[in-house]
Amino acid sequence: MLELALKGDKKYWGLVIALLTFIGIGFVVYLKQLDFGLGITGMSRDVSWGFYIAQFTFLVGVAAGGVMVVLPKYLHDYKAFGRITILGEFLAIAAVTMCLLFIIADLGQPMRAFNVILYPTPGSVLFWDMIVLNGYLLLNVVIGWNVLEAERNNIHYAKWVKPLIITSIIWAPAIHTVTAFLYCGLPGRGFWLTAILAPRFLASAFAAGPALLILLCLIIRKFTKFDPGKEQIQSLAKIVTYAIIINVFFLLCEVFVVFYSRIPSHMSHLQYLFAGLHGHGALVPWMWTSMALMATSIVLLVIPTARKNECILAFACVILFIGTWIDKGMGMISGGFVPNPLHHVTEYMPTLPEILITLGVYATGLLVLTILFKVAVGVKEEVSGVKDSCESC
Amino acid sequence: MGNSRRSFLKVAGITALGIGTKPVLDVFASSGGHGVEPKPEVSKNVEVFTAKRWGMVIDTRKFHSAEDLDPIIEACHKIHNVPEIPEPRHKIMWIWEDEYKHVFTHREHELINDRIKHLPFLVLCNHCEKPACVRACPTKATFKRDDGIVLMDFHRCIGCRFCMAACPYGSRSFNFRDPRPFIKEENKEFPTRMKGVVEKCNFCAERLAVGKLPACVEASNGAIVVGDLDDPESEIRDLLSSNYTIRRKPDLGAGPSVFYIV
């Protein structure tokens, strides 16, 4: 089926070349990082995880979000989603690919990465994260490819694929739960030390993932002959609406517990993020922007007439995606490190090389997504073409 | 005190004996062909400092200003090839000083007496009983020895920095760049590190193994004492039972093995 990715118009190849350019730039800067060390980033002794790990965390959510089209289709037999499950699965593949690349980019000694397998340590959550992420990638590659190939050949997919699909549905929340456990089990980090972290991660994942999927569906409809469908988009929109409301609700639960209990080691991080601490407040405008974007998206999504208008829906999805990205991709990780365990404030901002490497990884993920979606849409167009000709004869 | 002094002298004596007999054994070893096997275990004669569970007591009453601490920090950092990197973000610290309110974050209050308020406190790895860093490490590159010392394998560390996020004491440093150009005077007896790995205080495990006390203890004029927490007869237990001591963040349950007399 990959041959479908080799035939495309000028716009397609333009996109591929643009992405390859970003990948190239990111790779060159990564070589520099490999040579110099992680010192070219903005990370420090106090903020020892930065942009890479934050993007990784956000994208695990996007990957898990893909299950929101797979689950209704296979567990509730919601047939409408059958049209777009492949998009959810392929989005998951692209997102997990980026996650793995971000982890590699973040390692001080990437050539020793296999030590995680060589000296397996089940007591470490990172060990399990390695397993669930690679497992989820493999599941989605096998399932996506087989189901799409079956669709192309106009047959039902093989029987052994079904158990894998069920597994992948359970697996999706697992990847984001384990990712949350990376943070929420650490004794000295009050910001993350909360049982609501994994549920919060999942809620924002099930908002951001499907929101991105809606946008991708609209793009596909605009640029190809395949229409993912109005009903599909509206069903996704309802999922996004519930998820973003739950996400904000969980956040407010956290805010209540932290500020009503007034335990300083828990309060100080939220204070830093939303009000600034000891004169440091680089993230304050970002965090309030994030809140405003999420709140606005809720208003737009909750009103049925607004949600049903695809232009407004697209706008709501864009601001929701940006809002959740700021929340997780900027605040969630460095917020946990500021102040540090000795209550010193060292701020963190990514450096230009760090941003270029990040863009390179995003471009890689988008390239994977572009190629996979090209294949998927190609098959969809082919199949509908066959159907059309049958109907005519 | 007398007890540990005696045992120290005993150790020193045996160590000297070991060094004294080594040339003789070397002669035996090199003579060969006379049925005398080479004895690689010559070092057996060198008594080592051992404990069931190592601990440290820092008597902060014996310190008055940062100048009192500087030689201790310097001794440690020099012996362990800890680089002096000017960029604050990339700093490597095994042992350093900070104020009471930062060291004992849960005990700080505004009316605390002036001596404590302005006294510099030594901060280092606590060699916890239940170390969060060891639990987090995905490769066992950081591990706890049976005697309680938490160590790093610089060759296995992948540089994921999970241990740094896990440590509630901020005791770990990461080599954000090649540290070697920033080592003023290299100590050939201890390895230097490469970029991309985590490091921290190792309780001078390499010195204990040859019967030497930790560098900070040696440089402290008796203000720092290490010993076996499991031995009721040890000097450290004597100090603990005759003084009121505090630990950093004991509420987290990690079981830090560094005690402070304030």
On chain B, the residues whose CB falls within 8 A of the CB of A110 are 158
Q: Any idea where the domains of chain B sit in the sequence?
A: 1-47, 48-261
Kindly report, residue by residue over B213-227, the tens digit of the pLDDT: 999 999 999 999 999
Residue A243 has which token pair?
């998820």
pLDDT of residue B39: 57
The CA distance from A328 to A208, in Å, is 11
pLDDT of residue B32: 44
pLDDT of residue B43: 53
Task: Check B176 against A346: CB less than 8 A apart.
Answer: no
How would you write the pLDDT of chain A (393 residues) with one tens digit per residue? 888 888 888 999 999 999 999 999 999 999 999 999 999 999 999 999 999 999 999 999 999 998 999 999 999 999 999 999 999 999 999 999 999 999 999 999 999 999 999 999 999 999 999 999 999 999 999 999 999 999 999 999 999 999 999 999 999 999 999 999 999 999 999 999 999 999 999 999 999 999 999 999 999 999 998 999 999 999 999 999 999 999 999 999 999 999 999 999 999 999 999 999 999 999 999 999 999 999 999 999 999 999 999 999 999 999 999 999 999 999 999 899 999 999 999 999 999 999 999 999 999 999 999 999 999 999 998 888 755 444 444
Name the closest residue on chain A to residue B168, using Cα atoms. A188
On chain A, the residues whose CB falls within 8 A of the CB of B180 are none
Nearest-5° angle of CA B55, CA B59, CA B65? Answer: 130
Size of interface A-B (CB pairs under 8 A): 150
Contact assessment for residue A55 and residue A164, using Cβ atoms and an 8 Å cutoff: no
**Domain-embedded: residue A129:** yes
Rounded-to-5 percentages of helix, strand, coil across chain A = 80, 0, 20
Contact assessment for residue B126 and residue B169, using Cβ atoms and an 8 Å cutoff: yes
φ and ψ at residue B56, rounded to 5 degrees = -140, 140
Query: What end-to-end distance do the CA atoms of chain B give, in Å?
Result: 19
Task: Check A109 against B135: CB less than 8 A apart.
Answer: no
Name the closest residue on chain A to residue B137, using Cα atoms. A124
The CA distance from B80 to B182, in Å, is 13
Distance from CA of A335 to the nearest CA of B (A): 12
Q: Would the pLDDT of B252 be above 90?
A: yes
Kindly report, residue by residue over B36-79, the tens digit of the pLDDT: 555 555 555 467 899 999 999 999 999 999 999 999 999 999 99
* DSSP string for A154-176: TSPPPTTHHHHHHHHHHHHHHHH
The alpha carbons of chain A give a radius of gyration, in whole angstroms, of 21
Determine whether A279 is exposed, middle or buried from the number of CB atoms within 10 Å of its CB (0-12, 13-18, 19+).
Answer: exposed
Task: Check B167 against A188: CB less than 8 A apart.
Answer: yes
Task: Check B174 against A45: CB less than 8 A apart.
Answer: yes
Domain count, chain A: 1
Half-sphere exposure of residue A317: CA atoms within 13 angstroms, side-chain side: 27
List the CATH number of the domain containing A374.
1.20.1630.10
Task: Check A126 against B177: CB less than 8 A apart.
Answer: no
Distance from CA of A56 to the nearest CA of B (A): 13
The CA distance from B71 to B62, in Å, is 14
Q: Please check whether the domain covering B48-261 is classified as CATH 3.40.50.620.
A: no
Handedness of CA B112, B113, B119, B124 (dihedral sign): negative
Listed by number, the residues of chain A in 229-268 with a beta carbon closer than 8 Å to a beta carbon of chain B are: 265
Rounded-to-5 percentages of helix, strand, coil across chain B = 35, 15, 50
Determine whether A54 is exposed, middle or buried from the number of CB atoms within 10 Å of its CB (0-12, 13-18, 19+).
Answer: buried
**Domain-embedded: residue A314:** yes
Angstrom CA distances, A282 to A89, A338, A348, stand at: 37, 11, 8
**Domain-embedded: residue A1:** no
Q: What is the mean pLDDT of residues B171-192?
A: 96
The alpha carbons of chain B give a radius of gyration, in whole angstroms, of 20
On chain B, the residues whose CB falls within 8 A of the CB of A44 are 88-90, 176
Kindly report, residue by residue over B2-28, the tens digit of the pLDDT: 455 555 445 454 444 444 454 444 444
Name the closest residue on chain A to residue B174, using Cα atoms. A45
Listed by number, the residues of chain A in 55-84 with a beta carbon closer than 8 Å to a beta carbon of chain B are: none
pLDDT of residue A374: 94
The CA distance from B119 to A262, in Å, is 28
Contact assessment for residue A346 and residue A47, using Cβ atoms and an 8 Å cutoff: yes
Distance from CA of A279 to the nearest CA of B (A): 17
A225 touching B, CB under 8 A? no
Contacts 24+ apart (CB under 8 A), B249-255: B249/A188, B249/B105, B249/B106, B249/B168, B249/B169, B251/B106, B252/A187, B252/A188, B252/B168, B253/A187, B253/B130, B254/A187, B254/B126, B254/B128, B254/B129, B254/B130, B254/B131, B254/B132, B254/B168, B255/B128, B255/B129, B255/B130
Name the closest residue on chain A to residue B105, using Cα atoms. A342
Task: Kindly report whether the peptide bond that precedes residue A339 is cis, defined as omega within 30 degrees of 0.
Answer: yes
Where do runs of H (alpha helix) occur along B209-250? 215-218, 235-242
A187 touching B, CB under 8 A? yes
Q: What is the mean pLDDT of residues B159-175?
A: 97
On chain B, the residues whose CB falls within 8 A of the CB of A38 are 159, 174, 176, 195-196
Contact assessment for residue A46 and residue A158, using Cβ atoms and an 8 Å cutoff: no
Name the closest residue on chain A to residue B158, using Cα atoms. A109
Closest residue to B102, CB basis, from A39, A115, A343: A343
The CA distance from B217 to B20, in Å, is 26
Angstrom CA distances, A52 to A20, A59, A285, stand at: 20, 11, 21
On chain B, the residues whose CB falls within 8 A of the CB of A353 are none
* DSSP string for A302-364: HSHHHHHSHHHHHHHHHHHHHHHHHIIIIIIHHHHHSS-TTS--------HHHHHHHHHHHHH
The 8-class DSSP code of residue B77 comes to H
Q: Between A386 and B245, name the one with better pLDDT.
A: B245
Task: Check B135 against A124: CB less than 8 A apart.
Answer: yes
Q: Would the pLDDT of B139 be above 80?
A: yes
Closest residue to B165, CB basis, from A41, A48, A343: A48
Helix, strand, or coil (residue B1): coil
| Angle of the A67-75 helix axis to the A197-223 helix axis, nearest 10 | 90
Domain that holds residue A131: 8-379
Task: Check A188 against B169: CB less than 8 A apart.
Answer: yes
pLDDT of residue B27: 46
Task: Check B252 against A183: CB less than 8 A apart.
Answer: no
ipTM topping 0.90: yes
